[in-house]
Structure 1
C-alpha cells in the first residue's frame, strides 16, 4: 500500500519550489511528478511546501536541474543523479553528497576520502596547499574542498569570516592557471547548511589528464603531478600515473577511430580539415580561410547538443556562403549520415514526414540527451524490427554510451514512458476525446492537452485531431522558456509512437 502524505527529500522539495516559481504549474499538476509505487504524494503536501510550512529553508532548484528532472522524472534514480550533476554546488545537492546531518552541532556524515577535503577556515595565504588539493582532485575523479567544517569531528562550524565569500574567483583562476596546465575546471559557492555558512570549491575531473605543476610555490614543485588519495593529496604514485597515461592513450585512439569512421561515412572526397592555429580549411575541393579574428571565438558543438537558445555561440558563415536547401534527412554521403537534433527527431514524427533515410534517425538516438523520443515510427519507415534496430544502435559510435544503452534496453523490453493517471487528468481527457478546444498558446492549457494525449490508448487516438494539436504545441513551446512543456511534448510524441507503431506482439 502506498504511504500517504509521504515526506519529500530536500532535492525534491527544491524541484517543487522551482516548478511553483515558473508560474506554469498548478499545485494539482505537480504531485503526480513525485508519486511512485509505495509513496503517494498528495496536493496537500505541495501546498505545505508552497507556504513554507515544511522544509522552508530549502531553496528552489536551478533551471537546468528542473529541466533535467522533467526529462527523467519517471526514473527516480536517474532524475536524482541528473539533479546532482547539473549543479553540484546547489545546497540540496551538497547536503546530499556530503551526507550532512542536522543536530547540535550539525555534522558531515562522511570521512575525508579521495573526493572530499575539509577545512575549518579559509585564508588566501594557504593558496598553494589548496591548489595542490584542487589539482589532485582534477587528476582523480574530481571532488569538494569544503571550508567551515572541523577536520576531525566533522562538525559543521561555519565560516567565521566573510573572506571566502568576498574572494574573487578570477584571482583563484589566475593563480591556478599560472601554476598548472592544462587549465582546471572548478567553481566556488557559499551555501547554507543547517544555518551554517559553508564554503565549497567543486573541481571537475580534468578532460586532459594529467594536470602538471608548471611553477614552484612551496609546497608546489614545478613538473610535479598531484593526485588525490583517500584523506590526502600528494605527488602521484607510479601505478596511478600509468593508469592515467593509459587512459589518455586509449582516449586519443578512440578519437582517431571515431574521426576515421566519420570520414568513412562522409566520404574522403567530402571531408575537409580545419587548422585552428591559422584558420585554414583544406579539402579535396579546395581551401578557404576563417578570419584569424574569429578563431578565439570559435566554439565546437558537442555532437547531439546543438541549441539555438543556450550554450556558447557557434560560428556563423555569412556573405557568399549559401546553404543547400535539401529535404531534411536526405543522404549526405554513401552511408546516409544526417545531422539531426532532438528537435528535428520530434518535428519529423509530428509531421509524419516520409524521411529519406529513417535508419539515420534511429542512429541519432545515440547522440541526443533525452531518452524518450519517437523510435518505432522510424523503424516502421525503415521496415525493420527491434533486433535490426538494436544492431544499428550497437554499431553506432557515440559520446553518450549510457544513452545508447538506454535506447537499446527500451527496444529489448518494448519500454515506453509511464502513462499519467487517466483518473487524475479525467477532465482534460474528456475535453480531448470530445474534441473540445484547447488554448495551446496558454502554457497551462497546453500542458493539460499534452498530459491528456499521454493517457490515450491506441483505439482512442484520432490522428487527424491529435497530431495538428501536438504540432501547435511544438511550434509554440518546444525549446522555449518553459522546459517542462518541452519534456511534455517529447513524452506525448513518444506515447503516440508507442501506441501507434510499436509492434503489437511487444504490447
Structure 2
C-alpha cells in the first residue's frame, strides 16, 4: 500500500508551474475534484462511484481542491466540516462489502488540499446495493485510466479469478505454517477485532498498539535526535534491509526516458507500468540504464511481483512489439497531415530549428517521429523537443494527443534501445 506522506506529497506536487497548474493527469489511482461539497447529492454520488472503482482495483486517492483542465491547485477550506462517521455511513449504505478509507490534508505551497485515500478491498468485488444519482443497484465499478466505469466482463472474470487464487494461496500458506510450528503451538489473530487466541491464553491487542506496530526498514544510528535502532548480538544472514518503493507516476516514466535518467530502481518503474491500462510505454531504455542484458529481460520482468494483467502484455512486447507497426498510421504523403509531418521530419534530419507554438505543432512533430531513421536523426535532439512538449503542453487538452505522445516515446525507445 502506498504511503501518502510528505515524501509522496513532495514528489507528486513538484510539477506545479508558476501559475499554480499541476502537470499531472488523472490516472488509475488519482482523481481530482475542485471542491468538497458533501451536502450535494450529485457530488457525493460521484465520489461514491470513484471510491468503489478504486477499491475494486488497487486503491487510490481522491484529491479535493484541484481544478479540472487545467489542473490548477486552488485548495479547499471546508474539508473538516463533515465527520468521518457520516462519510463512512454513506459508503456503507450504498456499497457491499464496506470499503475502508482514510482522510489526509496536504499542504502545497501554503494551500490545503484534502484527500480521501481509498484502500484496496481485501474482499472483491465491491457491489452497489442501492441507487444514488450517479450509481445504480447491482453495478460494479472499476478504474480505467482517469475514469470510473462499470467493469468490463474480462476484468470482472480476472478479478474473480484473482480473488479465488488469493484465497487458495492464503489457505495453503496458513496450513504450511501450522504444519511447521505444530498445531499445539499455533494461535490465531483476528485482524478485524484484534483478538488473539493462543490456545492457553487469550489477548486483545488495543487498536492504538496495532497502529504503533511498524516494519523495520533500515538499521540506523541516532542522528539529530531521531529514533535509533541498535542491533545487539549476531544478525541472521537472512535478515535484509527493506528498501522503500519509490512513487513512480506516468509523468516520471516520460521524464526518465527524455532525460535518460531514473530516480529509483527499474523494478519500481516496471511495477508502475504493470498497474497501467496500457503496456505502451518506453521500457527498453530502462533495461539499458540498469545493465539488464537481452537474454535476462524476460526473467527480470517475471520476477517482479504484480497481480495486474497488464504485466503479461508488457512481457509479451519482448517477443512481438506492436509499437513497431505503428508507423504506417502516420504516413509521410501528399495529404494535408502528411505534408505537415514531412516538414518536421525534414527539419529533424537537416538540423533546422523546430518551433512548437501550438498543440497542433506538437501533434505533427510527434507523428513525424514514426518515420525517422535512427542513423539520420540525433536521439538527443529528439529528446530535447519531447522535453519541451512535456514541460510546456502536457497534459494535453485532448486525450488523443496524450495517446500520440505515449506511443511516440515508445516508438523512439524501440528504435534506439531495443
Identify the TM-score tier after normalising by the shorter chain. 0.3 to 0.5
Question: Which of the two has higher C-alpha Rg?
Answer: 1
With normalisation by structure 1, the TM-score equals 0.39
Which structure has more relative contact order (CA 8 Å, sep 6+)? It is: 2
